[in-house]
Structure 1
């Protein structure tokens, strides 16, 4: 089975369509980026998972990430830009021969999709709740422009909501692990109404 590099981060949860700028300074992840850059475009994929709370602990679910651009600095560090994809399982974490970074088997974990009409209604309801949620915190015109520029697929509308909620990373992880898109949108509304869930699903 194909193995993919694993990049644990303490505050980052990946959702489809999310653009992620990162500064790479640890030697093991500099090695990872150099090896990814040696591959053909379209094959530069790795996995980001939420790290912690203890060293060596990872969540059961992470997200695929495609490396879009990388710039190496004079000191050997990198500035990179990635795009988030679908979620995947995180298990069987191990070091490959000659590798400084960990890797995992490529195990997709597709989000359950249902009737498009039901998803569209759930997305509309969640977006209306979000408008109220940020009513006194965001420029209304900028917000509406951002919403208007979202893809029509409710999957990406859900991603927009998930990354813009003011909640701890562990609650974003709960959104990632929701069994279906409708469940993800409903959980986002619950978070907006009730505040942080403070869920944790870490495992060794």
Structure 2
């Protein structure tokens, strides 16, 4: 394995949307959620995405994670909103795979898919709707940790799952919310609702609703 050290550039270097690129390579992948300041490890082995990582490493080191939503497996339909991440760790294995970590920078809307000659897809991203992603969130006016943990307890019990409650109790709220959004087996539509929630408060509230929906007798509604 040939590692390259952690990327010294962090989200703090992206202070405004003008710092972000006008074009962005996208990686459609069902169920893999990226949020600002959240790390996502990836195992890259498909040739077109190895090419994408090579090009990203030679340039901005940014790629856009978007949920694949069905259709042609070679060119799936994709959600309209994704999250751009910077390659912050990189290693090459002896069998030619890349093991990378993306760290989320900011979400984007796909304004246009570009006609390109690269084997991977590229888009024109719209950053304005999620410009606040570039700033650290304030953990005020969030749903209470107790409310979230109560919903998680009921969800875990109803689905006969296990949880590391010490980690749940000690994690910062943004970390806890993002970890649960990424780790719980929600449907693609439900996961996309979490990606598109405009604020951490809205994401936490959506998460609580989704947890309650899987608990018999809960008063939570349904998502269409």
Give me the TM-score of the superposition, normalised by structure 2: 0.71
What is aligned with 2:70? 53
The answer for the alignment partner of 1:81 in structure 2 is: 101
Cα-to-partner distance string for 1:18-75 (whole Å, 9 max, x where unaligned)? 3222221222211111112223xxx311100001211231101111111112222344
Please state if 1:3 is matched with 2:23. yes
Paired residue for 1:137?
Answer: 161
Instruction: Find the aligned partners of 1:9 and 1:189 in 2 and give their Cα distance.
Output: 24
Query: What SS class does the counterpart of residue 128 from structure 1 fall into?
Result: helix
Of 13, 26, 36, the match for 2:33: 13
Aligned pair 1:160/2:179, yes or no?
A: yes
Q: Which consecutive unaligned segments of at least 5 residues does structure 2 have?
A: 1-20, 216-221
* SS at 2:88 equivalent: strand
Contact 2:168–2:176 (CA under 8 A) maintained in structure 1: no
Q: 1:125 to 1:159 in 2, by over 3 A?
A: same
Equivalent residue, structure 2, for 1:127: 149
Equivalent pairs counted in the alignment come to 189
2:94 pairs with 1:102: no
Q: CA deviation at 1:111?
A: 7.7
- Decide whether the 8 Å contact of 1:15 with 1:159 is kept in 2: yes
Determine the structure 1 residue equivalent to 2:48.
28
Structure 2 CA distance for partners of 1:134 and 1:169, relative to 1, 3 Å? same
SS at match of 1:57: strand
Find the counterpart in structure 2 of residue 179 from structure 1: 198
Note if 1:117 corresponds to 2:117: no
In structure 2, the CA distance between the partners of 1:95 and 1:163, relative to structure 1 (3 Å rule), is: same
Aligned residue for 1:202?
none
The 2-side partners of 1:58 and 1:19 are apart by 21
Normalising by structure 1, report the TM-score: 0.77
Q: Which ranges of structure 1 fall in alignment gaps of 5 or more residues?
A: 200-204
Give the number of the structure with larger relative contact order, counting CA–CA contacts within 8 Å between residues 6 or more apart.
Answer: 1
Alpha-carbon distance in 2 for matches of 1:63, 1:147: 27
Contact 2:69 2:188 in 1 (8 A): no
- 24-33 or 190-199, larger mean C-alpha shift: 190-199
